[in-house]
C-alpha cells in the first residue's frame, strides 16, 4: 500500500474540485479558510483516503499527476496546455534515456513533462534568454523533483545549441523559423522536430523554413478537448471546452539530396501501417 512520506508532494482534493498541492513536512500544517490539517496526520498514512479539516471540510489525499503539476505552475507567460503536451511527447518519441533540447523554457511546465518522460537515464536541455523565467522554471522543476534531469541554460539560441545528435528538439518561440539551422545542427539524422505557434501566418513562415532547411515528413495539427459533465443521469458536454491553443508542427531532420520531395508526401492520407508478418494486398 502506497503511504505518504515526509517530503512527498501530495494533492488535497475536495468535492468541489478545489485542488491544493502541499509538501509534507513534519510539524507543519495545511491552512486555508476551509480549516487546518496537520501534516503529521498525513505522513505515514495511505494515499486515496479521506481526511477532514478541524472545520469538517473533507478532502481526498492523492498522489499528484503530471497534469496537476502543470496546472499548478505559476504563469507569467502562457504555458503549453496539457492536451498539447501529452501529444508532443508521442510525436517527439520521448521515453526514458532520450535526449531532448527545448527553447524557450518559459515557466518550465513543458520542461517538467519532458523530464518525467526521459528520466531516469535521459536528459532535457532547456534554453531561455530571460533570467527571471529561468528562476521561475527552476522553482517549478525543483518542486516537482525533476531538476536533476534538466540542464537550464541562459542563452540566445541564435548562437546555437551546445548539444549534437539530440533525439528530439522543440521550439516554443515567436519566430521558430529563424532558428532552423541551429535546430539541424543539434539534431541527429532523422531526429524529431516540433514547434508550437498560435497563428496561421507563423505556421506558413515555419513551413517555408522547414522546406528550405531539409526537414521531411512535415505535419501541422491542432487539438481540441471537450470535457463532459460527469453525471450519469444527464451526461452531456460541459458548457466550456479547451479549443484553439496553438498549432503544432512536427517534422524529421532529413539527410541527402532531393529532400523537398519528402516534405509533405503524406498530406491527406490515412494512417496505414504494415507489420512484418502481414501479406501484401
What mean pLDDT do residues 156-169 have?
Answer: 98
Q: Give the per-residue pLDDT at 74.
A: 77
Q: Give the per-residue pLDDT at 57.
A: 94
pTM of the entire structure?
A: 0.86
Q: Give the per-residue pLDDT at 80.
A: 86
The domains spanning 9-64 and 67-262 adopt the same CATH topology: no
Q: Give the per-residue pLDDT at 81.
A: 87
Q: Give the per-residue pLDDT at 235.
A: 95
Gap between the Cα atoms of 237 and 255, Å rounded: 46
- E-strand ranges in the chain read 9-13, 19-23, 29-32, 35-38, 50-52, 58-62, 99-103, 123-128, 150-154, 166-171, 187-197, 215-221, 228-229, 236-237, 247-253
214-259 per-position pLDDT tens digit: 999 999 999 999 999 989 999 999 999 888 899 999 999 998 767 7
Superfamily holding 67-262: Vaccinia Virus protein VP39 (3.40.50.150)
Say how many CA atoms lie within 13 Å of 91 toward its Cβ.
21
Q: Give the per-residue pLDDT at 66.
A: 92
User: Does residue 214 contact residue 183 with C-beta atoms inside 8 Å?
Assistant: no
22-42 per-position pLDDT tens digit: 999 999 999 999 999 999 999
Q: Give the per-residue pLDDT at 79.
A: 73
- The answer, yes or no, to whether the previous bond of 120 is cis (omega within 30 of 0) is yes
Q: What is the dihedral of CA 266, 184, 247, 90, to 10 degrees?
A: 70
Terminal Cα distance for the chain, rounded: 51
Q: Give the per-residue pLDDT at 72.
A: 85
Gap between the Cα atoms of 50 and 37, Å rounded: 12
Gap between the Cα atoms of 254 and 252, Å rounded: 6
Say how many CA atoms lie within 13 Å of 189 toward its Cβ.
3
Gap between the Cα atoms of 259 and 246, Å rounded: 27
CA dihedral over 259, 264, 269, 273, signed as positive or negative: positive
273 pLDDT exceeds 80? no
DSSP letter, residue 258? -
The C-alpha cell that represents 136 in the structure block: 521561475
274 pLDDT exceeds 70? no
163-218 per-position pLDDT tens digit: 999 999 999 999 999 999 999 999 999 999 999 999 999 999 999 999 999 999 99
Residue extents of the structural domains in the chain: 9-64, 67-262
User: Does residue 168 contact residue 92 with C-beta atoms inside 8 Å?
Assistant: yes
100-124 per-position pLDDT tens digit: 999 999 999 999 999 999 999 999 9
Q: Give the per-residue pLDDT at 118.
A: 98
The CATH code for residues 9-64 is: 3.10.330.20
Work out whether strand 29-32 and strand 187-197 pair parallel, antiparallel, or are unpaired.
unpaired
Gap between the Cα atoms of 195 and 221, Å rounded: 11
Q: Give the per-residue pLDDT at 241.
A: 87
In angstroms and rounded to an integer, the radius of gyration of the C-alpha atoms of the chain is 22
Q: Give the per-residue pLDDT at 17.
A: 86
Amino acid at each position: 500500500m502506497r503511504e505518504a512520506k515526509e517530503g512527498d508532494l501530495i494533492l488535497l482534493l475536495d468535492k468541489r474540485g478545489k485542488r491544493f498541492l502541499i509538501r509534507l513536512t513534519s510539524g507543519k500544517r495545511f491552512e486555508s479558510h476551509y480549516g487546518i490539517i496537520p501534516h503529521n496526520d498525513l505522513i505515514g498514512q495511505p494515499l486515496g483516503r479521506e481526511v477532514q479539516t478541524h472545520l469538517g471540510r473533507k478532502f481526498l489525499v492523492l498522489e499528484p499527476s503530471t497534469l496537476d503539476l502543470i496546472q499548478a505552475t505559476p504563469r507569467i507567460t502562457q504555458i503549453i496546455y496539457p492536451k498539447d503536451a501529452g501529444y508532443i511527447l508521442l510525436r517527439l518519441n520521448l521515453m526514458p534515456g532520450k535526449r531532448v533540447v527545448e527553447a524557450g523554457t518559459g515557466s518550465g511546465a513543458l520542461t517538467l513533462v519532458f523530464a518525467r518522460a526521459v528520466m531516469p537515464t535521459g536528459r532535457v536541455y532547456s534554453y531561455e534568454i530571460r533570467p527571471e523565467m529561468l528562476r521561475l522554471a527552476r522553482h517549478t522543476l525543483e518542486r516537482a523533483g525533476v531538476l536533476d534531469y534538466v540542464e537550464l541554460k541562459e542563452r540566445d539560441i541564435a548562437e546555437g545549441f551546445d548539444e549534437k545528435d539530440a533525439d528530439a528538439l522543440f521550439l516554443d518561440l515567436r519566430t521558430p523559423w529563424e532558428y532552423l539551422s541551429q535546430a539541424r545542427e543539434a539534431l541527429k539524422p532523422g531526429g524529431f522536430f516540433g514547434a508550437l505557434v498560435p497563428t496561421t501566418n507563423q505556421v506558413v513562415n515555419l513551413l517555408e523554413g522547414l522546406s528550405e532547411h531539409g526537414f521531411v515528413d512535415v505535419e501541422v495539427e491542432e487539438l481540441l478537448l471537450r470535457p463532459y459533465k460527469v453525471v450519469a443521469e444527464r451526461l452531456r458536454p460541459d458548457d466550456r471546452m479547451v479549443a484553439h491553443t496553438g498549432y503544432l508542427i512536427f517534422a524529421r531532420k532529413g539527410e541527402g539530396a532531393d529532400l523537398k520531395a519528402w516534405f509533405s508526401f503524406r498530406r491527406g492520407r490515412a494512417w496505414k501501417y504494415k507489420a512484418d508478418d502481414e501479406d501484401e494486398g
